Structure 1
Amino acid sequence: MRYFRVRIGSGDPRLVARDGRTAYDLSSARPALSSFRDLAMVASTTNRGVDDVAEALLDDAPVVGEDEVESGTVRPVVPDEVWAAGVTYEASGDAREDESGRPEMYQQVFENDRPELFFKATPSRTVGPDDRIGVREDSEWDVPEPELGIVLYEGDIVGYTVGNDVSSRDLEGQNPLYLPQAKVFERCCAVGPCVVSPETVEDPHDLEMSMTIERDGETEFEGETDTSLMARTCEELVSYRNRHDETPELSVLLTGTSIVPPSEFTLREDDRVEITIENVGTLTNTVTTV
Structure 2
Amino acid sequence: MIRLPADENVITGHGSQRDCCSVVHRFRTVDGSSRPDLPIDGYLDGELVLSRSFAADPAGDRLLMRADDDTVLADGVDATRIEFRAVDRFGAPRPYVDGDVRLQVDGPVDLIGDHGCDPGRRMIIPTPNATRETPLERGTVRSNHPSGVLTTETEELITMSRLCDPADLLPTDSADATLVGRVHDPAENGPAVVAVRGDQLVDLSHLAPTTSELLDLPDRVDLVRSSEPRKSWPLSDVLAATVDEASDSGAVRLLSPIDLQVIKAAGVTFAKSMIERVIEERAKGDYTRAEAIRTQINDAIGGTIAGLRPGSPEAERVKSILISEGLWSQYLEVGIGPDPEIFTKAPVLSSVGAGASIGVLARSTWNNPEPEVVLAVTSAGGLVGATLGNDVNLRDFEGRSALLLTEAKDNNASCAIGPFIRLFDERFTVEDVRTLVVDLKVTGADDDYTLSEQSSMSEMSRPLEELVDHAIGDHHQYPDGFVLFTGTLFAPTQDRDTAGMGFTHHHGDVVSIGTDRLGMLINRVSTAEDAPDWTFGIRALIANLAGRRLLG
When the two structures are superposed, what TM-score results if normalisation uses the length of structure 2? 0.48
Output the amino acid matched with 2:195.
A
Post-superposition offset of 1:236:
0.9
Secondary structure at 1:40 match in 2: helix
1:100 aligns with 2:281: yes
1:217-262 CA-to-partner distances (Å, cap 9, x unmatched) read 8452110121111111221111000141232413211000111222
Of 175, 186, 202, the residue aligned with 1:25 is 202
1:249 aligns with 2:473: no
1:148-183 CA-to-partner distances (Å, cap 9, x unmatched) read 101122032221111111111011111222222211
Output the amino acid matched with 2:275.
D
Map 1:5-84; keep pairs closer than 5 Å: 5-7=182-184, 10-11=187-188, 12-19=190-197, 21-27=198-204, 31-41=206-216, 43=217, 47-48=218-219, 50-57=220-227, 64-70=233-239, 71=241, 72-84=253-265
CA contact (8 A) 1:8 1:68 kept: no
- Please report the RMSD computed on the Cα atoms of aligned residues, expressed in angstroms: 2.3
Of 122, 137, 142, the residue aligned with 2:347 is 122
Structure number with higher relative contact order (C-alpha < 8 Å, ≥ 6 residues apart) = 1
User: In terms of Rg, which structure is larger?
Assistant: 2
Map 1:237-276; keep pairs closer than 5 Å: 237-243=467-473, 244-262=475-493, 263-276=501-514
| Alignment-derived partner of residue 408 in structure 2 | 182
Of 373, 387, 390, the residue aligned with 1:148 is 373
- The 1:186/1:234 distance shift into structure 2, 3 A limit, reads same
| Alignment-derived partner of residue 319 in structure 2 | none
Output the amino acid matched with 1:100.
E
CA contact (8 A) 1:134 1:288 kept: yes
Output the amino acid matched with 1:275.
I
Whole-Å separation in 2 of the counterparts to 1:13 and 1:67: 19
Between 162-171 and 152-161, report the one with greater CA deviation.
Answer: 152-161
Secondary structure at 1:123 match in 2: coil
Output the amino acid matched with 1:31.
H
Of 220, 232, 254, the residue aligned with 2:450 is 220
| Alignment-derived partner of residue 85 in structure 2 | none
Between 216-225 and 135-144, report the one with greater CA deviation.
Answer: 216-225
Post-superposition offset of 1:121:
0.3
| Runs of at least 4 residues off by over 6 Å | none
| Alignment-derived partner of residue 3 in structure 1 | 180
CA contact (8 A) 1:79 1:122 kept: no
Output the amino acid matched with 1:191.
I
Post-superposition offset of 1:63:
6.0
- The 1:288/1:124 distance shift into structure 2, 3 A limit, reads farther
Uncovered stretches (5+) of structure 1, i.e. residues with no partner: none
Whole-Å separation in 2 of the counterparts to 1:10 and 1:26: 13
Secondary structure at 2:420 match in 1: strand
Whole-Å separation in 2 of the counterparts to 1:258 and 1:67: 33
| Alignment-derived partner of residue 194 in structure 1 | 420
Whole-Å separation in 2 of the counterparts to 1:35 and 1:69: 19
1:283 aligns with 2:458: no
| Alignment-derived partner of residue 309 in structure 2 | none
Whole-Å separation in 1 of the counterparts to 2:390 and 2:460: 17
Uncovered stretches (5+) of structure 2, i.e. residues with no partner: 1-177, 242-252, 284-326, 494-500, 529-552
CA contact (8 A) 1:216 1:271 kept: yes
1:37-84 CA-to-partner distances (Å, cap 9, x unmatched) read 23224x1xxx33x212222316x6766423123122222112442111
| Alignment-derived partner of residue 164 in structure 1 | 390
CA contact (8 A) 2:345 2:415 kept: yes
Post-superposition offset of 1:113:
2.2
Whole-Å separation in 2 of the counterparts to 1:74 and 1:125: 11
| Alignment-derived partner of residue 205 in structure 1 | 434
Post-superposition offset of 1:188:
1.7
1:99-158 CA-to-partner distances (Å, cap 9, x unmatched) read 112952222322222111111100353211111111112321111101110112203222
Secondary structure at 2:328 match in 1: helix
CA contact (8 A) 2:445 2:507 kept: no
When the two structures are superposed, what TM-score results if normalisation uses the length of structure 1? 0.88
| Alignment-derived partner of residue 173 in structure 1 | 399
Work out the percentage of aligned pairs sharing the same amino acid: 29
